[in-house]
Amino acid sequence: MIPFRLLGTILLSATPLLAQQGVKSEKPLRRIAFGSCFKETRKGPIFNSVAASKPQLFIWLGDNIYGDSHDPAVLRQKWQNLAEHADVKPNLNNIPQIATWDDHDYGKNDAGKEFPIKKEAQTAFLDWLNVPTDSPRRSREGIYSVQDYGPEDRLTRIILLDTRYHRDALPEHPENGETSDGTILGEEQWAWLEQQLRSSKAQVNIIGTSIQFLASEHRFEKWSNYPKERARLLKLLSDPTVPPVILLSGDRHSAEISVDKTSTGYPLYDVTSSSLNLPFGGKKPEPNALRLGEKYKGANFGTISIDWYADSPIITLALRDSYGAPQRAVTYNLTR
């Protein structure tokens, strides 16, 4: 491994709040911040540290609010509360932001395709994110998205998945090891994802999935509740014609870095950052054979630093505490 180090960054612009949705930057991304699970009624001092890390982009990975309502008006109000949050707004106002959702900002704990107001929930989410009216996200079912950043020789592609809109019901007793033959993404999103990966010219490709992909031994929501879906993504990522990716996830109210070194032909990392202001992490030890080190149970956010001045990009993945100090980190060459 290459020793841990921090890299300099450049702000993309001073365009306020989320107005840069859909705008491709010609400057290479060198620092990205990300996080999940933000209780909008609580204070969020961690965003002072997020801003101090000077990211060029912030990625919301889900449970960005705790909407938990069948009333679209309630969801809209909570999104507005997030947009005006006293700690979020001044710290992220000049940082471009992109986002996906998870169950609580979708509208119901552990909900999937059966949720009755999912269309209204999608509209409320996209309105908060200031997604343009002519965006494909406004006309299709689900909020999945792709965004490219940087010049052709230092290009980053960020793919954000929707693990809610098309997801079949969870198995009845996942805590007992029961699994489902159903889908997480749905066929339309699967076809879209494959196309985005196979067509990518980016040197750095990132996939954001609200629930954990690699961790498979805990009793909570995860891709391994749907083993056929998990195997399908691993098969796609192992295809030598598909570029290597970095996985980002949230949901768990604790943080960890997991790595699979055998399934895809390159080290596949899943960086789980959660929670921004509502950590708990559980009192009992939680098994994860793919985890590097121990879980981090305090408030946290993640960063990706990209060093473009090598034959292949040098990536530093870090989990940072509420003061911005790295608590878990790994640096490696992103190459197959």
* Domain range list for the chain: 31-333
Cβ 133 vs Cβ 181: under 8 Å: no
Q: Which residues are CB-contacts of 240 (< 8 A; sequence separation ≥ 6)? A: 265, 336
179 by DSSP, 3-state: which?
Answer: coil
Secondary structure tally for the chain: helices H, strands E = 8, 12
Query: What are the φ and ψ backbone dihedral angles of 139, each rounded to 5 degrees?
Result: -110, -10
Residue position matching structure tokens 């305090």: 298
161 by DSSP, 3-state: which?
Answer: coil
Cβ 70 vs Cβ 108: under 8 Å: yes
State how far the Cα of 271 lies from the Cα of 216, in Å rounded to an integer: 14
CA-closest candidate to residue 99, choices 240, 215, 199, 248: 248
* pLDDT lower than 50: segments of the chain: 1-23
State the pairing for strand pair 314-320/301-307.
Answer: antiparallel
| pLDDT, tens only, 138-166 | 999 999 999 999 999 999 999 999 999 99
Task: Write the DSSP string, 22-44.
Answer: TPPBSSPP-EEEEE----TTS--
State the pairing for strand pair 326-333/314-320.
Answer: antiparallel
Residue position matching structure tokens 């507005």: 80
The model's pTM is 0.93
Distances (CA, A) of 11 to 8, 91, 117: 10, 13, 37
CB atoms within 10 A of CB 56: 23
In the numeric block, which tokens belong to residue 50? Answer: 């997020």
CA angle 100/102/103 to nearest 5° reads 150
Handedness of CA 278, 99, 49, 77 (dihedral sign): negative
Distances (CA, A) of 170 to 84, 110, 133, 236, 295: 34, 8, 33, 23, 25
Under CATH, which number does the domain 31-333 receive? 3.60.21.70
Cβ 211 vs Cβ 249: under 8 Å: yes
State how far the Cα of 78 lies from the Cα of 250, in Å rounded to an integer: 20
Which H or E run includes 330?
strand 326-333
Give the pLDDT score at 24: 59
In the numeric block, which tokens belong to residue 132? Answer: 């343009």
State how far the Cα of 272 lies from the Cα of 119, in Å rounded to an integer: 28
Cβ 192 vs Cβ 198: under 8 Å: no
The distance in angstroms from the start CA to the end CA of the chain is 15
At residue 147, what is the residue type? Q
